[in-house]
Amino acid sequence: MRVPSKKIPDTFKEEILKEYRKQPKLPRSRKYHHLSEGESDNEDPNILYRSLRADENPISQGLQPPKNHDPSISASKHISKGSTLNIKSSWVSLTRSLKVAAAWASQSNNKIAKVSISGEDRSAVIDMTEPKDAKKVFPTGQGSSLNTAKASQEVIIKGGVKRTNIIAIYGAEKISVEQYKSIKKEIEEGKKPTYNGKPIYSVVRTRAKSKGQPLPRVIFEEWTASERKLSLAISDAEYSKSDITPRLKKK
């Protein structure tokens, strides 16, 4: 026997829609969904996110193209067929939306890298939310691959990024609606909730694909760049104590 779903009051939908419309929007083609909080959570073009594969170690290696990649593969082919190609390209895909990255990460490795490309050479960066960049890849301005890239706020970087550009690692997992509401309430009350002992960065309702159902996710801190600085400071202090190799003073 099929159980009828509860009808969501039109007044509630309208309230959510009003909040959604208040958010600044990046160019994209993802349709509005009353359960989604939207994906436009980052208007800084220098801050990007990537849902990590299990074999990626951005803290020590940065974000690199897969081994034996083919540098001749075009940006359009990478976006259109990247995940299905037997030989991968030298492009690395990221997104300007933490929510989009969390949606993908919570379905796989549960890890997200936060990246800063501030001050870096932009010639190897293509931001699919920017019309001029998108036209370089898809000159006609049409096609499902272009729409998907825009909806996901995809940014591709030739050759990837260095480890020094990694500024944080987040975890992301699916949670229940009850957990979502409880955590969100704690955050609104100024509390600092944790998830499995780790500081919670945010809770969101989001989806990996445009046609998907927005589901609650929790995003929590795994590592920050300040930990690298602390580690380097400790290593530097230990090195300076060595009687074997004298410390070289910087001029």
For residue 94, what is the domain's CATH number? 3.90.210
Considering only CA atoms, give the Rg of the chain: 21
pTM of the model: 0.79
- What pLDDT, on the 0 to 100 scale, is given for residue 243? 41
Instruction: Indicate whether 247 belongs to any domain.
Output: no
- Return d(Cα 99, Cα 153) in angstroms, integer: 10
- Return d(Cα 200, Cα 121) in angstroms, integer: 33
Instruction: Indicate whether 11 belongs to any domain.
Output: no
Instruction: Indicate whether 248 belongs to any domain.
Output: no
* pLDDT at 131 > cutoff 70: yes
User: Do 209 and 40 touch, CB atoms closer than 8 A?
Assistant: no
* Residue whose entry in the numeric block shows the structure tokens 């939310």: 129
Instruction: Indicate whether 168 belongs to any domain.
Output: yes
* Residue whose entry in the numeric block shows the structure tokens 């602390």: 230
Instruction: Indicate whether 179 belongs to any domain.
Output: yes
- Return d(Cα 200, Cα 193) in angstroms, integer: 6
Domain extent at residue 115: 19-240
Domain total in the chain: 1
- What pLDDT, on the 0 to 100 scale, is given for residue 32? 58
- Return d(Cα 108, Cα 104) in angstroms, integer: 7
* pLDDT at 2 > cutoff 70: no
State the DSSP H helix or E strand holding residue 76, giving kind and residue range, or none if neither: helix 75-81
User: Do 208 and 100 touch, CB atoms closer than 8 A?
Assistant: yes
Instruction: Indicate whether 172 belongs to any domain.
Output: yes
Instruction: Indicate whether 65 belongs to any domain.
Output: yes
Instruction: Indicate whether 1 belongs to any domain.
Output: no
Q: What is the token pair recorded at 235?
A: 């290593």
- What pLDDT, on the 0 to 100 scale, is given for residue 110? 94
